[in-house]
Structure 1
């Protein structure tokens, strides 16, 4: 009998999530690519998100102190108006959809989120924000399909939507076979004026 040993760490990031109708709109646009490139590792539509800060693998005990300051940040901030637009690839391995709309507001929000994380004493790799939504990854043994799929949706322009919640998310990456799965640890509605 194999007993699952609970992990003392969790892989964490802070993100925004498009509403279901915006995700569905892009998923319909992707239908030809799903059929043409079945060997790509497609992310589940319900897991699509825009990462503001990737914190990596953290001790489970480091997560609860993030909640109050992130809740305060969301309470002080107004929603950000965005849209999904175009596509591209990172190194021919990762297929993504671009983000359009209030990019200045998105960059300010990401900066504030990262400040909160640092103030909580959590060290993380601070990469420049490249607003995108990851759609699929190529398999290590088969790099075909990503660039072609990106070309197929390059002209996509989705409807505008409002990112009205801040999400603290955990992922199961590296925790066994199967697709990557994400779950909200907590989320907070943006209710502020700034």
Structure 2
């Protein structure tokens, strides 16, 4: 049986508080967005897709070995923005600061090591972010969107330690996705 899964960082409480407050404020703005439930927000590193259950242990062992080479990550929020264009926005997000380059190196290491399992490598540059919502198809941006996003460009949070990577199962349901923790991987190395 195939399990839809991904690797992500859980967010520390200090970051969750800022994310939740910002998300709540933005839902009151005139934006045509499907908002992500703040309780389900995470920082995805690698989307694995549909993986055969029998291969998850092998994949988990590879992920564990890679994580053992890395030390904890220090991260904080750093501004807000959107992907897409001002006329055709797609995703509204919060940016990150801190060990962003090391996080990109972790992602690259994971993607290379998981290639033999059929996990496709992302060709886009890694831009770590926290997705707050996705614009609806008929959403138009324009100056109102620019003004709203400008008011959040200086948003920050305290720097926080992220000490583990999480393997999640993702079940898509009509009421929204349900995420289940399958395994946690601690960072214990020096990279």
Give the TM bin, normalised by the shorter chain.
0.7 to 0.9
TM-score, normalization by structure 1? 0.82
Does the alignment pair 1:184 with 2:181?
yes
* CA–CA distance in structure 2, aligned partners of residues 190 and 95 of structure 1: 29
**Residues 131-182 of structure 1, C-alpha deviation per residue, up to 9 Å, x if partnerless?**
111111122344568666533322101111111111112222xx33122332
Structure 1 regions of 5+ residues with no counterpart?
1-7
Q: Does 1:109 align with 2:106?
A: yes
| Equivalent residue runs for 1:1-40 within 5 Å | 8-37=1-30, 40=33
Q: Does 1:50 align with 2:15?
A: no
Which deviates more, 156-165 or 109-118? 109-118
Q: Deviations over 1:58-94 (max 9, x none)?
A: 2333322111121222223201111111111112121
Deviation per CA, 1:103-153: give whole Å up to 9, x if none. 22111111121122124x223142331111111112234456866653332
CA shift for structure 1 position 48? 1.8
Equivalent residue for 2:131, pick from 122, 131, 134: 134
Offset of 1:26 from its aligned partner?
Answer: 2.6
For structure 2, list consecutive stretches of 5 or more residues without a partner in the other structure.
Answer: none
Matched residue pairs, number? Answer: 184
Q: In the alignment, which residue of structure 1 is the partner of 2:160?
A: 161
Separation (CA, whole Å) in 1 of partners of 2:43 and 2:27: 21
- Residue pair 1:95, 1:149 contacting (<8 A) in 2 also: no
Q: Tell me if structure 1 keeps the 8 A contact 2:15–2:158.
A: yes
Q: Does 1:65 find its partner at 2:58?
A: yes
Give the TM-score normalised by structure 2: 0.83
State the alpha-carbon separation in 1 of the partners of residues 126 and 177 from structure 2.
22
Kept after mapping to 1: 8 A contact 2:111/2:119: no
Is contact 1:75-1:190 (8 Å) kept? yes
The 4+ residue runs of structure 1 with deviation greater than 6 A are none
